[in-house]
Structures are given as structure tokens and as C-alpha cells.
Amino acid sequence: MSAPPLLFDRTLRRRRLDRSATDWRTADFLHCRAAEDIADRLSAIMRRFPLAVELGAAPGLIAALAPPQQVELWIQAGLSGARLEGFSGPRVVADEERLPFGEASLDLIASALSLHWTNDLVGALVQIRRALRPDGLFIGALLGGATLTELRQALLIAESEIGSGAGARVSPFADGFDGAALLQRAGFTLPVADVDRVTVRYEHPLRLMADLRAMGETSILADRPRTPLSRAVLARTAEVYAERFALPDGRIPATFEIVTLTGWAAHDSQQKPLKPGSAKIRLADALKTVEHKLGPE
């Protein structure tokens, strides 16, 4: 079995997070939004989780927002030790691609905006599922395919016009419509995926780029261009961005798509689909309608 392609430079990912360790709270609006949504979903589940892990680049956000009586102990885990330094509770430096947790050792794993940087997302989800006890819960938010579509287009046009060719400057992201299928492939039961599309307005594309740097969300593509963007390309990018996407007030929009995945580790108590042919009544009778056969008699 061949290894998955290396799309992302994970060493560079760690350096990006370390670099932004002191600045990420100045641009944490996406992480906060994802964490709030995860906490809301947890509050709707009427059960306790003795041991939980918050896995990601924004330590402590989910734990601070989740109902305090619902989780007995939160462990913070993430790729960047520098980001974890600001958290006073239990913490462990952990790579999402090589989780250190024992099999069936956790009751809950929650992740806000980090899994989209894994080279093998299904493999990461499999590790998460194996770390959960039977009937354990995973809730994770990651960036989806429509994220930064405006910036992606503007950069491609600017580089193709001014540079020696357009390079991949914005990373690809998973399609939100594939979320439930990804969970099923990883062995989760009761999989659910939904999409929250957020539009943020900026005065200038450079402000967007500054926020991405502060978040630690700049590109880590393994096959990325090694030369930095020239001033001419940056200027043309801003022009194209404004020409194609500017709003009536002159600001430019930046689209972020947050895909939230929810799945459970298998357990005998969970509801299961009925076997084909086991229905007690006909669908037409239940709907109080007339059944019409298709095709020739």
C-alpha cells in the first residue's frame, strides 16, 4: 500500500505556529467561532465525558466555552509547544498525524481548525477514532474548499501576468460535501458533516494576509514556490482583488468555509439502520398515497 502524497510540510507548519504564538489571539476570530460552535454542540449532548482532549492550534478555547460540568478533565494537545505554554492545565505536544494516545483511552476529542493541514486526513481520523473508547465522541472543525477563494484567484492572475508563471500560493482544502464520507471511511458511526461559510470584510488584501500570518494559517505546501512574492505581484494582487470582488463600500471580502465533522466510536447501544426488507408497513400506506409501479408490467 503506497503512502499518501506529502502535500504539506509539517515541519514548516510547526514553525508557522511557533512564530505566531504571541500574536494568534489578535486574529482568533475563526478559531473562536469554531470553538463556540463545538461547545454549543457539546452542550446539546446530555452526557458526561470523563477524559477529553482538545486537539489543535488554539489551546483552551473549547474547554473554556464547553459546559464545565460536562468534562471532568481536559488535556490540551497540539503541534506547537510555544502555543501550549500559555495554558496552565495538562498539555502535550502532539502531531495530529501521529497521535500519542493509547487505544480506547479517551471519551472525547474536539479539534478546532487544525486537521486541514494533515497529509492524510482519513489516517488522522482513524487515529482519533482508535483513541476513543466505545461510544466516544469526536467533533472537529476544519477549513473547507471555498476558503480564501478570492485570494487564490487574485494571486493566480497577478502571478501569471507579472511573474514567470502562477504558483500554488494558497493551500487546497477538503470539500465540505465529503465530510460524512471521510468519517465513514475512518470507521466512525452516526457521521454528520455541515458547513458554515463566513465572509470577513477587509480594507485591503494586505490586512487579510497579516491576519493569516498571525493565525499561523499561511501556506505550508510542500511544493510551494520558494521565492517570496514581489512588491509588483502583491500590488497587482490587490488590484485584481478589488476589481473582481470589492463590495459597494470599497472593502474586499474573504471567504472562510468551516466544515464541522461529528462522529462516534462504535458501540452496541447505538441505533443502527434496519436490514433491507424488515419494514412492517409499506411506505405508500404510511404516506397514505397510491403506489405506482415503474416500467412495463
HEC string for 172-228: CCECHHHHHHHHHHCCCEEEEEEEEEEEEEECCHHHHHHHHHHHCCCCCECCCCCCC
Over residues 40-79, the pLDDT tens digits come to: 999 999 899 999 999 998 889 999 999 999 999 999 999 9
Lowest mean pLDDT among 8-22, 129-143, 219-233, 273-287: 273-287
Query: What's the confidence (pLDDT) of residue 279?
Result: 60
Phi, psi dihedrals of residue 267, rounded to the nearest 5° = -155, 145
**Per-residue pLDDT for 1 more than 70?**
no
C-alpha cell, 132? 476513543
Q: What is the mean pLDDT of residues 125-143?
A: 97
Domains of the chain, CATH where assigned = 10-148+170-204+254-287 (3.40.50.150)
Query: What's the confidence (pLDDT) of residue 214?
Result: 95
**Per-residue pLDDT for 269 more than 80?**
no
As a whole number of Å, the CA-based R_g of the chain is 22
Query: What's the confidence (pLDDT) of residue 219?
Result: 87
Contacts of 55 (CB under 8 A, 6+ apart): 77, 78, 94, 96, 99, 109, 110, 111, 114, 128, 140
Query: What's the confidence (pLDDT) of residue 162?
Result: 83
Query: What's the confidence (pLDDT) of residue 168?
Result: 63
**Per-residue pLDDT for 95 more than 80?**
yes
Query: What's the confidence (pLDDT) of residue 173?
Result: 73
Contacts of 84 (CB under 8 A, 6+ apart): 59, 76, 78, 91, 92, 93
In the chain, pLDDT over 90 holds for what percent of residues?
71
**Per-residue pLDDT for 273 more than 60?**
no
Q: Listing from the earlier edge strand, what are the strands of the sheet with 132-143?
A: 91-93, 71-78, 49-56, 106-112, 132-143, 252-264, 189-202
Q: What is the mean pLDDT of residues 285-294?
A: 68
Query: What's the confidence (pLDDT) of residue 223?
Result: 80
d(CA 192, CA 269): 18
pTM over 0.85: yes
Query: What's the confidence (pLDDT) of residue 14?
Result: 96
**Per-residue pLDDT for 166 more than 90?**
no
Is the CB of residue 254 less than 8 Å from the CB of residue 151?
Answer: yes
Exposure b/e, 203-226, CB count within 10 A at least 16 = b? eebebbbebbbbbbbbbbbeebbe
**Per-residue pLDDT for 83 more than 90?**
yes
Query: What's the confidence (pLDDT) of residue 161?
Result: 87
C-alpha cell, 113? 481548525
Confidence of residue 280 (pLDDT cuts 50, 70, 90): low
Average pLDDT taken over every residue of the chain: 88
Residue 268, helix vs strand vs coil: coil
